[in-house]
Chain A
């Protein structure tokens, strides 16, 4: 009886699927899973805000592609690669998820990169930093959307050195991400004619940075670079202010600082900071309109970060590519994404390279003083628009095997 019923249902389902979607949408539904940190250090800058952004993209697209409904799932990977890998495997094997989106924390992102490459599922990464995702670990089913450590390091490192910050000292979070960020920035500083005087490795996480700040102050460097993220950055900036470091003439820069960190610090403490960001909600009419819609859905009082906006842009582009390609088969969709320019509220002139890097303009910004800030979340002055080709690592320097393959063709 049960077997018979199952068979009947299966037959009906197959029939329905065949009838509804002439295009090849697997299981007649497109499932998108937002996998990120929903309770830990990155839950404000990505977290639920990214889920809301993805849902907005689905709604704006119309909720259906080629007649197949678009479904959104989300889960908390707790910044642990094993937890993230388990969820991704279950999503792919049991729930037949077609695309995994957002994935902050480089260690988790690299684990997801492996799984999605092997199981042929799309990976749209917005929040992870590692530039290896489009370098030696690149994948034909992945697009890295918003930023990476290379772009952050070069944007800020080059600009500050050219402005006269010739000597640098780093306070570095003592794990892979911090060291990568320090290394990339040091390269940019040297290329621009600057010098690195030294660095100190702070354990991760650290609440009290005063000792490290004092060492940085003692070095006499023009610029103190914070190669860390999240609460570490917030505490370091807050305490640098307390110890009067910027008043003494030294410049302080957070190499990976999001607008949510600035909001937490408050302008009196954060003013004058120089940083690189991929998107700013108050950049133009389109970004403002989108940010206000997002803010409403989040219950008001907050504005989106660049990575949350990146999730919207990535999901929208993904859905457009399915529409154009007529299939949700991972490699074909990503190839189609690469063939289409990106023009939306996130970027005016984006395109995706063979290695999976979405290239777009980045912004060098300075945090406004309380007097300059006219309304809530009016935080950034854009100092310079860094053209995409300059902001991101040249494709031949990354060591992505896909690049050699496409060059050989």
Chain B
């Protein structure tokens, strides 16, 4: 059997694939964070809670209304996105003139409140959500058994990342968004409704988080703290990729998923810390992040 540092190459391929799958959810989550930071200059600490809400809304739709996974994939991001719009209009937009820190504190507080409310209502053990009938079971790839649902997660996450990237780079709306990121005053002078653009971006960022939450619902136990566990990693991803860089955060998300996957084979104890070690090294060598531009 061919081995690589004592690990059979087949097992290694399986682990790399798993890393890629985890990277997919990092990518979708960090994409939303990077978008929000790019335009609003807000470090959205409520992102993890919005991810958790996405998963919970999908579960509620199924449990209370019988609405299936496919519809939930659309409806849950919509609900959480609207909730995001509400937060931006009522609270966040008062903070743009202040230091970053205030936005961070506000969103952190909101995250704690949301987690607390869900904990009060549903307890901590979590809810169970089955993958849709069509995606149950799996295929034998020769080197591993791949559950169909995990394959679907990678494909759909890649598609969403590509679509968002294309939307920002190739469309008129995307061009306005990029322009408003650079110089909001000038864009406003051209008659563009910048506040609306900002509200929409925050709502869309929240919707992306919720989308990742729905994707995660059949994989993990849906509990109120599921977001706070993943959000720290996603922050590290955004920092490594370069704050505000869309492509950077997507590539970093997938890349770090792979690195984490390898760590789980060679030194599993460090798999929860390896991303932060990389973050420290990147910050030392390239403080603006791998794909970021220094101001």
Residues on A facing B (Cβ under 8 Å): 39-45, 47, 174, 200-203, 205-208, 210-212, 214-215, 218, 230-231, 234-235, 238-239, 242-244, 260-261, 263-266, 268-269
Contact = CB atoms under 8 A, between A and B. Distances in A.
Contacts of A214: 11, 14-15, 18, 144
Given A235-B220, A243-B145, A211 B138 contact: no
B235 to A, nearest CB: 16
B269 A44 contact: no
Interface in B12-60: 14-15, 18-19, 21-22
A200 B223 contact: no
A164 B125 CA distance: 32
B250 to A, nearest CB: 19
A9 B270 CA distance: 62
- Give the 8 A-B residue pairs with the shortest CB-CB distance, closest first: A203-B272, A264-B125, A211-B264, A266-B128, A44-B125, A234-B221, A44-B123, A264-B126
Given A214-B144, A234-B126, A269-B128, A264 B119 contact: no
Contacts of A203: 268-273
Chain B interface residue count: which class? 35 or more
Contacts of B138: 242-244
B220 A238 contact: yes
A64 B138 CA distance: 61
A238 B149 contact: no
Given A39-B119, A44-B125, A210-B18, 9 more contacts: A44-B124, A208-B219, A208-B220, A211-B18, A211-B261, A242-B149, A244-B138, A261-B125, A264-B126
A238 B268 contact: no
B230 interface: yes
Contacts of A206: 272
A207 B220 contact: yes
Among B19, B125, B128, B130, max chain A CB count under 10 A is at B125
B82 to A, nearest CB: 27
A63 to B, nearest CB: 29
Contacts of B230: 207
B115 to A, nearest CB: 9
17 contacts: A43-B123, A203-B268, A208-B18, A210-B18, A211-B271, A212-B268, A214-B11, A231-B225, A234-B221, A242-B131, A242-B150, A244-B145, A264-B125, A264-B127, A264-B221, A265-B128, A268-B130
A264 B128 contact: yes
Contacts of A43: 119, 123-124
A218 B7 CA distance: 11
A39 B119 CA distance: 8
Given A39-B119, A208-B22, A231 B269 contact: no
A211 B15 contact: yes
A61 to B, nearest CB: 29
Contact of B265 (A39, A40, A215): A215
Contacts of B273: 203
Contacts of A234: 125-126, 221
